[in-house]
Structure 1
Amino acid sequence: MDDQGLVEDRGLLVPAGAAARDAYALDIDPERAGWGYSSLRVLELPPGGSHLLAAGDSEWLVVPLSGGCTVRTDDGPAVELLGRTTVFEGATDFAYVPRDAHTQIASGAGGRFALAGARCERRLPVRHGPAPEVPVEARGTGNCSRTVRNFAAADAFACDRLIAVEVITPGGNWSSYPPHKHDERRPGEESELEEIYYFEFERPDGYGYQRVSPSRPGGADVLAEVRSGDAVLVPNGWHGPSIAQPGNAMYYLNVMAGPGQEREWKISFHPDHVEGYR
């Protein structure tokens, strides 16, 4: 069986539209992914549109992909999100919605909004994450350079379990390199985290490639062409590289959560690729 057949059989590549539901252009929950914690929805609102989000047993981040919105919960202050025109414009402000909340997301001009979620135990307060406070990191060198917006990294913004970051990879560059994994609990060395990659490209005809290789017999194995609106599920395995088409920048949103008592991102690099790179 070739790699593409393996992807389709295991359902790790989620093409744009394949997991659409109601107002969501993408709706991946733990049941759809076959794991315990991580979720991602992409909400599309027309001008003047609104949507009711029942948080349930998960905490959520409302992250504008394009446009702005107002986030109102039943027991917290309203959060006004200025948002952005596109994900390539820069970091955006965002809102934290706690578990068990009932929330209205409304947009006067319309827009698209990522809802990154994680099943959790603690109920934290509603909060606004201002765009100027998002830590932005230049990672890698040469044709492996990329920009990482650590808006909800473990040490940047308080959540119970959820970790979320954005990456901009210039056209022709590799990111998520060297390949790395976080699928074992090894205190102080590696976290156990499920992960979702969600992709967009600067131009409509853009594409890239995503690799996930097994870290154990029968583990996740993906080599997929990805386009705007596609997602890749990473339940385990070495993930990377993520490769952008020359001349066309690639965006991806990473959503992670797992069973560990500590909310942390500890990774192991693939030993066959790290020598000479770091």
Structure 2
Amino acid sequence: MTEPKILANGWESITPADAGWTYVSFAVHTLQAGDSLTLPIDGQERALVPLSGTADVAADGQRWQLGGRQTVFDGLGHCLYLPLDTEATVTATTDLEIAIAAAPATTKHAPVLVTPDDTDLELRGGGNASRQVNSLMLPDFPADRLHVIEVWTPGGNWSSYPPHKHEHDRDGEAELEETYYYRLRDPRDGWAVQRVYSPERDFDLVQTVRDGDLLLIPWGYHTTVAAHGHDLYYLNVLAGPASKRTLQAFQDPCLKATQDAWPDAGIDSRLPFIPRYPS
């Protein structure tokens, strides 16, 4: 299996063969208004998340309209879940940037459109580890393997903290492959820092990430910090071999106790800073 790595903006689609793992595929497609994209029947379930613009999706005699924000910082995302054995046509009704995550599936569920009305304005953490979360596909979602989450982190704050991992299938931890797709409110000058580390593997990656970069995490503790003054977004996709849907994570025991101070610190007063819908 591959080591954790960050792909610089300019990468195209990532398949399990590209990543050196088994489950997660991920791509971001840019379409001009009126352009279409066909998603074939290939043994995978999919999640479609418009990053900007609006889309019309047709599949199995049904149609859905989704999207509407100009950037990921304008409002919460929509997510269209398309199950196994579903051929679909995505048509851009405006200029469109759309993320598509996929994973192999064995059970065909019903398609589901998740809108901003279906999710909470969820705040996690405390102090300078506060962030805003939009949980699009959690373990109770009717799907086989895919989990999809949006996270916004104000400039200067830590995210995915305390560091945690999804590496072993055991009590309190699930084996999951994971991607982070990063966007910055200032796409030209914005940046953040990503750390992925594994004491048991003598591995430590600390790297600057910028708008459009993609992180592959097959194993290891991970955490992210947004540079001061630079708000960060990432789209988080996870899938793994467990027969039961789960996002159980094992926190770094050296840092787990840091969250004990969060109730006294409270949530960063800047949050929530992403509205449910664009204003």
TM-score under structure 1 normalisation? 0.89
Q: Once superposed, what is the RMSD of the aligned Cα atoms?
A: 1.6
Name the residue aligned to 2:17.
31
Describe the shift of the 1:55–1:135 C-alpha distance in structure 2 as closer, same or farther (beyond 3 A): farther
Q: 1:247 aligned to 217, 222, 229, which one?
A: 229
Where structure 1 has 5 or more consecutive residues not aligned to the other structure, the ranges are 1-8, 21-26
The answer on whether the counterparts of 2:180 and 2:216 sit within 8 Å (CA) in structure 1 is yes
The answer on whether the counterparts of 1:135 and 1:151 sit within 8 Å (CA) in structure 2 is no
In 1: Cα distance, 2:57 partner to 2:79 partner: 10
Name the residue aligned to 1:174.
158
Instruction: Say which structure is richer in strand.
Output: 1
1:13 aligned partner, one-letter code: I
| SS of residue in 1 equivalent to 2:254 | helix
TM-score under structure 2 normalisation? 0.88
Describe the shift of the 1:146–1:11 C-alpha distance in structure 2 as closer, same or farther (beyond 3 A): closer
* Counterpart check, 1:164 vs 2:164: no
In 2: Cα distance, 1:50 partner to 1:28 partner: 20
Name the residue aligned to 2:214.
231
Matched ranges for 1:9-158 at <5 A: 10=3, 12-17=5-10, 19-20=11-12, 27-73=13-59, 75-155=60-140, 157-158=141-142
Which of 116-125 and 261-270 deviates more?
116-125
Name the residue aligned to 1:4.
none
1:60-111 Cα distance to aligned partner (Å, 9 max, x none): 11101001101111x2411111431111112122211122221110012111
1:171-227 Cα distance to aligned partner (Å, 9 max, x none): 11111111001111113x1111010010000012111011000153255x3211111
Q: Which has the higher contact order (CA 8 A, sep 6+)?
A: 2
1:47 aligned partner, one-letter code: A
Name the residue aligned to 2:275.
none
In 2: Cα distance, 1:276 partner to 1:35 partner: 32
1:135-165 Cα distance to aligned partner (Å, 9 max, x none): 332011111100011111113x321110010
The answer on whether the counterparts of 1:146 and 1:168 sit within 8 Å (CA) in structure 2 is yes
The answer on whether the counterparts of 2:47 and 2:81 sit within 8 Å (CA) in structure 1 is yes
% identical aligned pairs: 38
The answer on whether the counterparts of 2:180 and 2:237 sit within 8 Å (CA) in structure 1 is yes
In 2: Cα distance, 1:91 partner to 1:72 partner: 22
Matched ranges for 1:192-271 at <5 A: 192-204=175-187, 205-217=189-201, 221-240=204-223, 242-271=224-253
Poorly superposed stretches of 4+, deviation over 3 Å: none
In 1: Cα distance, 2:61 partner to 2:146 partner: 20
